[in-house]
Amino acid sequence: MTLAQKILCQLVLTAALVAGSAAMAWQVQNWRMGKQLAEQANLYQNDLSAISNAAADQVRADQDKRLALEQRLSASDQTHHEALTHAQKDQARLRDRLATSDLRLSVLLAEDPASGCSVPAGTAAGGMVHGGTRAQLDPAHAQRIVAITDTGDQGLIALAACQLYVKEINVDR
């Protein structure tokens, strides 16, 4: 073998060794990179799982708060409905007593009827009137007054229900 052939063989052998080393290094780097990517994917999956669990816990907590609020509002609504029903029954009883003349409404007079006031004075049969002179109202006027107070009572009960509703809503925020 000539010197040129020997050098050529050595060059080819060196090139093959360099190429083999490079291929081997490439493969090792591939394995290491694959391992790093697998670790990153695992960490990403763990983070995603933790985020999903936290979101599910938050949804459950919000649902529990909503359910508790709905229950409180339902109980409050029932309480206010009972108060409204009770007030309506009382007003109906008062209207019935006024209609049957079982009860007469009267007003306290600022002046004495003897001094020229044309409002007739009267007292309930068998009763004692303490204080100043009183005049009985016409039953129709008394009915209108009771209707007005009934509407006012219903409005106050509705206002109290609305205020409690707003308070309950704002408590959970």
Split at pLDDT 50, 70, 90, the class of 99 is confident
pLDDT for 60? 97
pLDDT for 95? 81
pLDDT for 154? 87
pLDDT for 150? 86
Closest CA to 146 of 114, 112, 104: 104
What is d(CA 33, CA 85) in angstroms, rounded to the nearest whole number? 76
Closest CA to 125 of 136, 114, 115, 117: 136
Residue 30, token pair as written in the block: 């591939």
Number of Cβ within 10 Å of residue 129's Cβ equals: 13
pLDDT for 38? 93
What is d(CA 168, CA 73) in angstroms, rounded to the nearest whole number? 7
pTM, rounded to two decimals = 0.51
Split at pLDDT 50, 70, 90, the class of 126 is very low
- Select, from the ranges 10-19, 108-117, 132-141, the one with the highest average predicted confidence (pLDDT): 10-19
The larger pLDDT score, comparing residue 130 to residue 122, is at 130
What is d(CA 129, CA 94) in angstroms, rounded to the nearest whole number? 20
Counted residue by residue, the chain has a size of 173
Question: Mind listing the pLDDT tens digit for each residue in 71-90?
Answer: 998 998 999 899 889 988 98
What is d(CA 158, CA 80) in angstroms, rounded to the nearest whole number? 8
The phi and psi torsions of 126 (rounded to 5 degrees) equal 75, 5
pLDDT for 171? 75
Dihedral angle computed from the Cα positions of residues 27, 30, 36 and 41, in that order, rounded to the nearest 10 degrees: -130
Lowest mean pLDDT among 24-33, 127-136, 139-148: 127-136
